[in-house]
Structure formats: structure tokens, C-alpha cells
Structure 1
Amino acid sequence: MKSIVPIKGKVKFVITLDSGVWIFDDRKIDLTTFFEEGSVLKDELEEYTKAVSKHWSREIQEGATYPPTLKTEKKYEKERILTGTFAMPFSPFLKNAEPLQSASHIMVETDTGEYRFEIDQADELLLGFSSNGKPLKEDGPIHILFKDGSNKDEPIKRVKAFRLE
């Protein structure tokens, strides 16, 4: 169970993170473009509205048939997943664990030591889980990257757990 990483300590709910299923999550971030595009995360509601609008416009213009472009879009998405480098934002998982009022720090436990972050920095952390379409088995299961890209060449590796203090 080396791929399971718990969030424990001063939380209402101890939860476990399984990076093996994140490839199917819509919240994943493509790291090949994320740092070049100014590190802007998209608003989920805005993205959903745009996607629905695009689909609606397509149906109005072309009818409710499936044009050949949909097949190529699906093929491109599959290829992108099989060859991409991805990460997940950390803050939604932390919110689900519901930190206690007394929690002020996040301790990241790794094979080589511990890293300490203020709880307010959770929005700045990304959890890398895939490199070139492959899970991070050698030095994973996850890597911690900062949204500003300051450690993208040397992320925090071999993460075993998150502990709130």
C-alpha cells in the first residue's frame, strides 16, 4: 500500500489519498503547461459553463449528431492522459479532512525527513502523481510542488503522510 498517503493529526476526519485514481479526476492539472501559463487555476463553474455552452452551440449548428471531430477529441484526450505529467491541488483534500481550529501547521512526512508548512500555504501546494504518463513509483507515490514553480525541478519526493499539528 505504498501508494496510499494519509492526512492525519489534528483533523476531524483522517482520510487517505490514493494517487492511482487521480488520472480520472477532472481537477488534475497538466504540469507541462501549468507553469508556462502563469499558474492560473480555472474556476470549475466557469469551465463547466463554457463546456456546456460549446456543446449547446455545436448541437444548434450541426444537429444532435456526433460529428467526426468528437472522435478525434476523445483520441487526443486519451493520448494526453497516457503521456502527460499531472498534479492535483492539495487544498480540496485538506478541506475534506476538516482541520481542527487548533491546527496551524502541515507536516509532510517523507523517507528523508519532515517539511513544515503553515496551514495557510495549503492552497500553494500541488501533489504531482504522474510523469510522462507513468505513476511515480521510484520516488513517489506523490511529489509536492509549489504553484509558483520554484521547486518544479526539485520537488519534495517520497511523501509518506501529511500530519496536521
Structure 2
Amino acid sequence: MIVQLVGNLTYPITIDPTVWIFDDRKILFDDAFLDKADKDSSIEDELKRTADRFARETFIKPPVNRSIDKFERSKLLTNTYVMPIKDFINTVEVAPNATVARLQTIDDEHRITIDQLRNSLLLFAKDGKPLKEDGPIHLYFGDGSNKHSPFKNIKKIIIE
């Protein structure tokens, strides 16, 4: 369930997508491909719900820690998430002359540009569970152009 990021870069790394469920950089799959106006609206709605919940809880005084923990746990175990790969690409320091990324899967290989890779999202959890059958990750372009046919079963990403 790990993915290697190797090739023409300064620091090769091994990524374990099973721990991303606890990472704050993860994005809900349903929110990942919304346009900017929809994202802003979604963020405003979430902030409004959070503010309303805070206002109710300050007057009622429920056991806040237990309520939030249960809510967050159930949310983690039922949602589908993607992780932007941009931070990992910045960490490995891709060589300036690198132009292509090869995505090695179980039975195939795909080539994409470094820019496509840098703006991609990695699906790592479906319904709160790791992708065991066709994982460990799926790659979606940031623009959503391959939303219905992502690259699956990715085991290694080689930068050339």
C-alpha cells in the first residue's frame, strides 16, 4: 500500500497513502472538482454551519470534545478523499530538466507531463477506507478532465 516517487529528483520518497486520512491537506472528492465560485460557496456554507453549531453549543454546554470527536470520526469513515500531490512534488525537488512523469501500474504504464502531475489529485480513500482492490492510489488531473477514467493501481511514479 505504498507508492514510490523516484527518478530525476533530488530526494526520492516513499509515500504511504493510508495515513493521509489524518492529514489536514486532504480534500473531499465531491469538492475537489468544483469551480472557484462553487468552492467559495461551499466554504462559506461550512463556516456558517460551524458558527451556528458553536453558537448552539455555547448556550447548551454539551460535552464538546466527545461530540466533535464522534462527528469527525464518523465523517472520516464515510467520505471519499483526494490529496493534492503538489506538496510532495515540491518536497522531492524535481530537476529543472524533467519533463515527463511515468505512472507505473500493476499491468501498464502511462506518461503525463510534470505540470499535469503537479496539478493532480490522488484518490486514496473511498467511503473512508483505503483503496485495496485497485489502489493504493488513483490519479485525477486537477481540471477533472479524467474524472470518470482516472489512472488506477499506481505503484510507482518515475520522474524523467
CA deviations on 1:66-125 (whole Å, 9 max, x unpaired) are 942834333222111001101100111111111112211111111232221221223321
Structure-2 residue corresponding to 1:16: 14
8 A contact 2:89–2:118 mirrored in 1? no
Q: Over aligned residue pairs, what C-alpha RMSD do you find?
A: 2.7
Alpha-carbon distance between aligned partners in 1 of 2:135 and 2:143, rounded to the nearest angstrom: 21
Give me the TM-score of the superposition, normalised by structure 1: 0.77
Structure 1 gaps of 5+ residues are 43-49
Describe the superposition over 1:19-47 as per-residue Cα deviations: whole angstroms up to 9, x where unpaired.
Answer: 11000000001103333x326879xxxxx
* Structure 2 partner of 1:29: 27
Distance between the aligned counterparts of 2:108 and 2:39, measured in 1?
A: 30
Residue equivalent to 2:44: none
Residues 115-165 of structure 1 show CA distances to partners (whole Å, capped at 9, x for unaligned) of 212212233211100111111000000001122222222211010101010
Q: Is 1:147 aligned with 2:142?
A: yes
Number of positions where the alignment pairs a residue of Structure 1 with one of Structure 2: 146
Distance 1:67 1:32 in 2: 33
Point out the more displaced range, 15-24 or 25-34: 25-34
| 2:117 is the alignment partner of 1:119 | no
Give me the whole-angstrom Cα distance separating, in 1, the residues matched to 2:39 and 2:110: 25
- Contact 1:32 1:84 (C-alpha < 8 Å) held by counterparts: no
Following the alignment from structure 2 to structure 1, what is the Cα–Cα distance between the partners of residues 10 and 62? 49
Alignment of 1:36-75 (within 5 A): 37-38=34-35, 62=58, 67-68=61-62, 70=64, 71-75=66-70
| Structure 2 Cα separation of the partners of residues 69 and 31 of structure 1 | 31
> Which amino acid in the other structure matches residue 68 of structure 1?
P
Secondary structure in 2 matching 1:106: strand
* Residue type of the alignment partner of 1:79: S
Which residue is 1:133 aligned to?
Answer: 128
